[in-house]
Amino acid sequence: MASGPDAALPQVARMAEVVSEDALDKWRTAGRVTAKARDLAASLIQPGAKLEAVADRVEGFIRESGAQPAFPLNLSADHWAAHYTPSLGDPMEFVAGQVVKVDIGAHVDGYPADSAVTVEVGGARRHTDLIRASREALAAAVEMVGPNLQLAVVGETIERTIQAYGFKPISNLTGHLIKRNELHAGKSVPNVGKGKGDGEPGVTRAWEVYAIEPFATNGAGQVENGKAGNIYRFRGLRRVKDPDARRLAEALEREHGSLPFAARWTKGLCEHPARSVNALRQAGVLHAYPVLIEKAGGAVSQHEHTVLITESGAQLLT
């Protein structure tokens, strides 16, 4: 039921009840930039390429396109399911055969889009079916989604599609409702059927925006927290004694608000970025996102799109 990002919207006048035409224009621009950034990142992933160089180029492309990163480029390999972005001076390089999840988002004036694709480095083709499983699950979910739909039904479709390839969906990772300045705005899009995930996912409504992101694995079908990664979210100003850390906190609140950012982005915002980030973490000013690891060490694939629910179906934004 999905249509292209430039299709005409039905009954635009009623849209104002939830989202304005100006907001929709910004979401559509964010979606187009996100899709181009996603494809650029995928094209740069080659054996020997440095993760930091790829991240810097892709995030730079987003800024050059008139948008801002909604979160740092995630480049999570193999059993790392999500939330790895390179650190400042990161020595890591891509290795042939890795299964890399490229997860990226852009926002325009706080209206974010979110998209992902999985790349097998060097074209080794050892995980072709695993990658196809999450891609086809996403296609099936986007095709069926529309207004007044139980999100648990979307989860059942994703689970069934992934299982048909002989793999497991990751039950404790979900898609999510998106609002202005909120990537995760309450409702979840499960990757498993009713009663198998966390809580009751709810129902779609017209003019809501969702990120749908199936994850497939040859492991246990669950993730757990690994070490704290290089992605942070500002939690609110607190008393911080160190003046350099205090300046960084004020800059982060001004520049990123509630949206995630990379430790790499703190360069130039204060004199001692690494020390000040650590001080803000200890003071509770920053929340650090842990790298999410497949529980049994299985390889993980992911695909994701952002969709706008309309009164008659859904419109693909990415």
Of 52, 78, 103, 294, the catalytic one is 103
In angstroms, the CA 309 to CA 288 distance is 31
Answer yes or no: 253 catalytic: no
Answer yes or no: 304 catalytic: yes
Instruction: Identify how many contiguous H helices and E strands the chain contains and give both numbers.
Output: 7, 16
Of 79, 107, 176, 256, the catalytic one is 176
**Distance set, CA 103 to CA 207, 274, 282 (Å):** 24, 24, 28
In angstroms, the CA 212 to CA 297 distance is 24
Of 56, 129, 184, 244, the catalytic one is 184
Answer yes or no: 127 catalytic: no
In angstroms, the CA 178 to CA 276 distance is 30
Specify whether the CB–CB gap between 145 and 154 falls below 8 A.
Answer: yes
**Distance set, CA 13 to CA 191, 206, 268, 308 (Å):** 34, 13, 45, 16
Of 52, 114, 120, 136, the catalytic one is 114
Answer yes or no: 17 catalytic: no
Q: How many residues does the chain have?
A: 318
Chain-centre distance of CA 255, in angstroms?
A: 19
With tokens 């529980």, the residue in question is 295
Tokens matching residue 212:
């749908």
In angstroms, the CA 194 to CA 200 distance is 8
Answer yes or no: 114 catalytic: yes
Of 213, 256, 303, 305, the catalytic one is 213
Answer yes or no: 213 catalytic: yes
Paired residues of 108 in beta bridges: 111
Q: Strand order in 68-77's β-sheet?
A: 68-77, 99-108, 111-120
Scored b (16 or more CB within 10 A) or e, 276-306 reads bbebbbebebbebbbbbbbbeebbbbbbbbb
Specify whether the CB–CB gap between 80 and 51 falls below 8 A.
Answer: no
Of 59, 136, 294, 304, the catalytic one is 304
Specify whether the CB–CB gap between 289 and 225 falls below 8 A.
Answer: no
Q: Which residues are catalytic?
A: 103, 114, 176, 184, 213, 304
